[in-house]
Structure 1
Amino acid sequence: MNKKQRYSGILMPISSLNGADDVGTIGVEAFRFVDYLCDLGVGVWQILPLGRTDGFNSPYQCYSSYAGNEFYIDLAFLHGRGWLNECPLKQDYFASNGEIDWDGVKCNKSVFLQQAFEGFRYQNQFASDGYLAFWQEHQLWLEDYSLFMALTQKYEGVTWSEWPEEIRDRVPNALAQAYNELEEVVLYHRFVQYVFFLEWELLHQYAMQRGVKIMGDLPLYVAFHSSDVWVHPNQFQLNSEYQMTEVGGVPPDDFNENGQHWGSPLFDWDVMAADQYQWWRSRLSFQLKLYDLLRIDHFRGLESYYSIKSIYLDGKVGVWNDARGDEMLSLLPSVMHEKIIAEDLGLIDEKVRSLRDKYHFDGMGVFQFAFDGNVHNVHLPMHYSDTCCAYIGTHDNATLISWYDELEIEQKKLMLEYIGVERLSFRAVARNMMQSHARGVIFQMQDILALGDEGRMNTPGTIDGNWIWRAKDKTLPIHDWLKKDIIRFARSKEVLS
């Protein structure tokens, strides 16, 4: 995609797709969503991270930077391959009618994935050309990840730093013994990863054939309890007992008076520099093969990062330290730079902007952040440039309707006057943004569906009630005015290369 080409997109998580399973999958409903985007003329589908999540279900806290979430696997695909005897699909393929029960999903779907694994192994598919080619391509991360997941299951969620010392320290003989003891579970996790990436490649190819680009999302940090940290502890700021003394987060701002305490391990940039940032380069290279575009979450952490002592419970007290993102990014080939979008929200200074601009990354504009009375506010659509990807709100924000309802009277008046209407109108907001100079404009699916609080995906700094929204409608709306405006303002997928 040429940097100057305009586009429109929709943010729709895989988990939120409507379908026959208890959660959205990369199966039929994902293919149908690509068709929906084509019907609208939209050229970009933005999703949330695809990784295998922990017990809190946040796609920004995953067990690996590489592994896919096996619960997004389409069971009908397994049935079609002859690995699953019975496909437990609802009578009405589009029967979902409520929020995602992640505990139920994991419990129920694991049963059928296990059955498919047994069918796969019975057919000796681990010796097939397809699996062997997959193993050859992915073994550098998959070998460690599959054992990590087997050990996580064995030790019932105890963090890796508390595992038996020889396992924690990755003593080769101890790892070999663990492989032998847990072989069945290890092979299961290799199987589900094989299936996940097989299905993903089919979906990605279909999207490309239909002219739709998929934008992935990369969390800056990784979870402490992850194969990334267990395998590469020296790449992170840990003490001699493999514990975090400092963690990542952000200081207080207008949206969170306590700041945010993410509990994520911080990178040891000095160690990373010693091998020319191999960990980062491998991670980014892998992600940029999965997607056509990649948004880097919390991009400012590549310029400097906020460090909080792990004993604190919030982000009120912390210090900023220099990162070495510039050195790392300079080692990436330019073809990778062309695919990256920087999430440059929050406390952004000139150094962060300079890093973003040095590599010609597009930044972000958020309509909901625009109406503080400052005519120079960079989130006002009149200030969007052709290096901006603009949103009404992201997955971390309220829907347009909910956001408007919470505004003070003066803010409502200011916003309505700006877009030139007397009452809230998604159409008017969308048009205002699409006719701006922003290179990209991406809408949350929830705003197209005119949802309120029930459509919120995530509230930062909270745990309960997040990541559970799912579309209830069998047929998504094709707004005629939206189709026309996408063409009118040169944002149709037909203009993308």
Structure 2
Amino acid sequence: MHRSSGILLHPTSLPGPLGIGDLGPSARRFVDFLAAAGQGLWQMLPLGPTGYRDSPYQCTSSFAANPLLISLELLRDLGWLADADLVAPDFPQDWVDFGAVAPWKYERLARAMAGFDAQAGEAERAAFAEFCETHGFWLDDYALYFALKTHHDLRPWTDWAPELAQRDPRALVEWSQGHQEELRLQRFIQFVFYRQWADLRAYARSRGVRLIGDMPIFVAHDSSEVWTHPEWFDLDAQGCPRSIAGVPPDYFSSTGQRWGNPLYLWSKLAEDGYSFWVERLRRILEMVDVVRIDHFRGFAAYWEIPATEETAINGHWVPGPGMALFEALRAALGDDLPLIAEDLGVITEDVEALRDALKLPGMAVLQFGFEDLEDGFGRSAFLPHNHRQRLAVYTGTHDNNTSLGWWEARQEDLRRNIGLYLNSDTSEIHWDFIRAALGSSAAMALFPMQDLLGLGADACMNRPGTQEGNWVWRYRADMLEESAAERLHAMSRLYGRLPYPAS
């Protein structure tokens, strides 16, 4: 495993004038920055269409992609949009106003389909037809789901007309026949995303940058998969969850985290060899080079919470599918699956045994490790001197405070011990954290963009246990200085993390 390093940045956080980061020119400029800084990895959050409170961990599909990431500039360059279509309202530059951006952008995507119909050549039309055929196993269900969701003012599927919510075949056929353009628009949007994504991935590869994707273990209740296959999930007769996912009280919350995702009926998924999981992982591995599996511990055992509970306190552990699921994945996709196991939280011996049997790298978070230095004894497995090679070390994750924000909230005694550990005056603590990650024996070292920029708590991506102000952070182009690339390149070279030349 080649030593490498990189940056955690969701594409929505990229700069630009159109209200949200996307796959266009700013994404390529970021790839150029990574290459100049000697970074071989770009890690992202899940790329699916977001639902509840705009969280990428509550996607409305496990296969579809987020339309808001489509670059309107690239569509303009194809002639499918006009310059006037890119005249945007006065969107904020340093955060995403999803409520304003989404309807404005969807309207332009509909215009782009009209432009495609008027301007596209024979090859482009053939590519669209081929995409629809190749991806039909998920695309048809998703197109119908999201067209119906739009028709019902974006309400959850359990609030639709009963015959549609319960998937009466005659009702679905009748509705589909009367809404062919809406269904075609959803297929077109996904075609455009995957085309732009393929181009961006090829560009990243040409610059020596590999992409790390993120796959949540659970799916959102209001999603195409739960509506299409309710038999896979623990639901009542009305389609509402009987039990939901979360975690017990932990570092982030004294009442635990009540995520709200419906729980799988793993015995049902096993009946056809876990085909849903096989296709899910196959699809994301066609898009990225490495996949981080969120909440890996849930495969060993997951926290089951009665849906009637208001917090996660009164849940209990239930055995997960364990090795049986991964044997099915390996049989279908190959033995050497390029995965990172997110093994944070309440980790028990069975979780470690599953991770190690699969020979997967786990995760270490420096912030958690440095908390252990409160008493001056460096015993945490997350501290660099205890790292192993088969590991991905992070200064922090999307769920953590920024390194500077975390530091500013620490007591003086802990700060003093951290300074001793890092042999630093801690005047640039975010760079100290980055250096510690780069110098680790862990094969992969990653840090959020906020840490590279030295930003405080206001730049957090997510604050677990809170409902507002998450997932919206963006950086401005003027924040990224050439000197940062030079400094990061020098550090990465010193610690043997420069990527191999692009092939």
Q: Normalising by structure 1, what TM-score?
A: 0.95
Distance in 2 separating the partners of 1:158 and 1:429 = 43
**Shift in Å, 1:475:** 6.0
Partner of 1:277: 274
Identify if the C-alpha distance between structure 1 residues 211 and 87 changes in structure 2 by more than 3 Å, giving closer, same or farther.
Answer: farther
Q: Tell me the CA shift for residue 477 of structure 1.
A: 2.6
Residues 157 and 134 (structure 1 numbering): CA distance in 2 closer, same or farther, change over 3 Å? same
How far apart, CA to CA, are the structure 1 residues paired with 2:298 and 2:336?
Answer: 17
Bigger mean CA deviation after superposition, 337-346 or 389-398: 337-346
Asked whether the equivalents of residues 70 and 193 of structure 1 are also in contact (C-alpha less than 8 Å), the reply is: yes
1:463-478 alignment, distance < 5 Å: 463-474=467-478, 476-478=480-482
What is the alpha-carbon distance in structure 2 between the residues aligned to residue 146 and residue 429 of structure 1?
A: 44
Shift in alpha-carbon separation, 1:123–1:483, aligned structure 2, 3 A? closer
CA contact (8 A) 1:23 1:100 kept: yes
User: Which residue of 1 is the match for residue 105 of structure 2?
Assistant: 109
For 1:252, give the aligned amino acid: P
Check the 8 A contact 1:281/1:328 in 2, yes or no: no
**Residue number in structure 1 paired with 2:318:** 321
Contact 1:434 1:441 in 2 (8 A): yes
Letter in 1 for 2:401: A
Residues 496 and 81 (structure 1), Cα distance of their counterparts in 2 relative to 1, 3 Å cut: closer
Q: Whole-Å Cα distance in 1 between the matches of residues 186 and 323 of structure 2?
A: 36
Counterpart in the other structure of 1:413: 416
**Aligned residue number for residue 450 of structure 1:** 454
Which position in structure 2 is the counterpart of 1:24? Answer: 21
**Partner Cα distance (1:255, 1:72) in 2:** 29
- Alpha carbons of structure 1 residues 90 and 439: separation in structure 2 relative to 1, 3 Å: farther
Q: Which stretches in structure 1 are left out of the alignment for 5+ residues?
A: none
Structure 2 Cα separation of the partners of residues 208 and 73 of structure 1:
20
Compared CA separation, residues 51 and 16, structure 1 to 2 (3 A): same
Q: Which residue of 2 aligns with 1:489?
A: 495
Question: Aligned AA for 2:412?
Answer: I
Against the structure 1 CA distance between its residues 418 and 90, is the aligned structure 2 distance closer, same or farther, given a 3 Å change threshold?
A: farther
Q: Is residue 345–residue 364 contact of structure 1 (8 Å, CA) maintained in 2?
A: yes
Aligned length: 491
Q: Separation in 2 of the partners of 1:97 and 1:152? A: 29
**Residue 98 of structure 1 aligns with which residue?**
94
Structure-2 residue corresponding to 1:404: 407
| Distance in 2 between residues matched to 1:253 and 1:387, nearest whole Å | 25
How much has 1:110 moved relative to structure 2?
1.8
Of the three residues 427, 434, 437, the one matched with 1:430 is: 434
Cα separation, 2, equivalents of 1:125 and 1:376: 63
1:283: Cα distance to partner? 0.7
Q: Is the contact made by 1:449 and 1:477 (CA closer than 8 Å) also made in structure 2?
A: no
Match of 1:332, SS state, is: helix
| 8 Å Cα contact 1:79/1:87 also seen in 2 | no
Which residue of 25, 45, 48 corresponds with 1:48?
A: 45
Q: 1:422 corresponds to which letter in structure 2?
A: D
AA in 1 matched with 2:496: A
Counterpart in 2 of 1:372? 372
What letter corresponds to residue 118 of structure 1 in structure 2?
A
TM superposition shift of 1:308: 0.4
Identity of aligned residues (%): 36
Distance 2:114 2:80 in 1: 8
Helix, strand or coil: the match of 2:350? helix
Letter in 2 for 1:405: E
Q: Please state if 1:187 is matched with 2:184.
A: yes
Aligned letter for 1:61?
A: Q
Gaps of 5+ in 2: none
Tell me the amino acid that sits aligned with residue 372 of structure 2. D
Which residue identity lines up with residue 114 of structure 1 in the other structure? A
62-71 or 329-338: bigger deviation: 329-338
The alignment partner of 2:317 has SS state of strand
| Range 101-110 or range 386-395, more displaced | 101-110
- Paired residues for 1:203-214 under 5 Å: 203-214=200-211
| Cα offset, 1:280, TM superposition | 0.9
Matches within 5 A, 1:122-271: 122-123=118-119, 128-271=125-268
Contact 2:19 2:93 in 1 (8 A): no
Paired with 2:173 and 2:357, the residues of 1 have a C-alpha distance of 46
Q: TM-score, normalised by structure 2?
A: 0.94
The question of whether the paired residues in 2 share the 8 Å contact of 1:125 and 1:131 is answered with no
The CA distance in 1 between the partners of 2:246 and 2:52, in whole Å, is 20
TM-superposition CA deviations, 1:312-354 (whole Å, max 9, x none): 1111110100010310111223646431000000000110011
**RMSD, matched Cα:** 1.9
* Residue matched to 1:11: 8
Amino acid at match of 1:372: D
